[in-house]
Amino acid sequence: MTQNDITPIKDNLAKINLQILIACNKTERSISQVTLLAVSKTKTSAMIEQAYLAGQREFGESYIQEAVEKIADLQKFSDIVWHFIGPIQSNKTRLIAENFAWVHSIDRIKVAKRLNDHRSSQDTPLNVCLQVNISGEESKSGIAAEDLKELVEFINSCEHLTLRGLMAIPEKNALTDSFEKMQQLFVKLKTEQSNIDTLSMGMSGDLTAAIAKGSTMVRVGSAIFGAREDK
């Protein structure tokens, strides 16, 4: 599908919201505990606008350059909440801190420090989740679970960052196991800190399994906007 095709974005959103509802019912969770983040990376501003007009407000982007263009395009929709979910190069931290309300993919102190420094000019703190490399794959980004404590402490010392929770992109072959490990880390962190309310996991193909393991935010791209040719 190309980006110029007319996509049934509104219908897709309705389907995904229903899927979330069913997943919540199955595990006796309230629908109010799970937020849908629409992942619009590589998709056009016009497509995001369609989703907005269908009621969607939270959007996730992974590539900073295209993201800032779309954020500028869509400024008139002032209640859109933008989440940065991609890998973070430290020379891009200023643009991220200036344009986003949330960042899900912090996995090292250097990046956290720079985001905090660049956020200082904004009135609201940046909401952050720490990305955990839960499947232990060397190629993937994310911090090892055993190194989490140090990063949590650092974030807590940052005046312009608010720690909200954890994020993961588990390997496809170890999904349930990884979701369960994330749930344990999340529950532990939550008992230690009152501001923790976000477990960001689950995508188009695995959101039901993620919700069963306590996900509070599912990041859904292709099931809403159509297939992508990922960069």
Residues near ligand PLP (CB under 6 A) are 39, 41, 62, 85-86, 169, 203-205, 219-223
What is the Cβ-side half-sphere exposure of residue 56, based on CA atoms within 13 angstroms? Answer: 30
Given a contact cutoff of 8 angstroms between Cβ atoms, the answer to whether 218 and 182 are in contact is no
The minimum distance between CB 101 and ligand PLP, in angstroms, equals 16
Calculate the CA 184 to chain-centre distance: 19
Nearer to ligand PLP, 204 or 216 (CB): 204
Of residues 175 and 220, the one with the C-beta less far from ligand PLP: 220
Please state the closest distance from residue 84 (CB atom) to ligand PLP, in A: 10
Minimum Å gap between C-beta 87 and ligand PLP is 9
| Closest CB 62 distance from ligand PLP, rounded Å | 5
Nearest to 189 by CA among 167, 219, 161: 167
| Cβ proximity to ligand PLP, 114 vs 219, nearer residue | 219
Residue 172: Cβ within 10 Å count: 10
- The DSSP output letter for 143 is B
- Of the pair 151, 206, the CB lying nearest ligand PLP is at 206
DSSP run (H or E) holding 131? strand 126-131
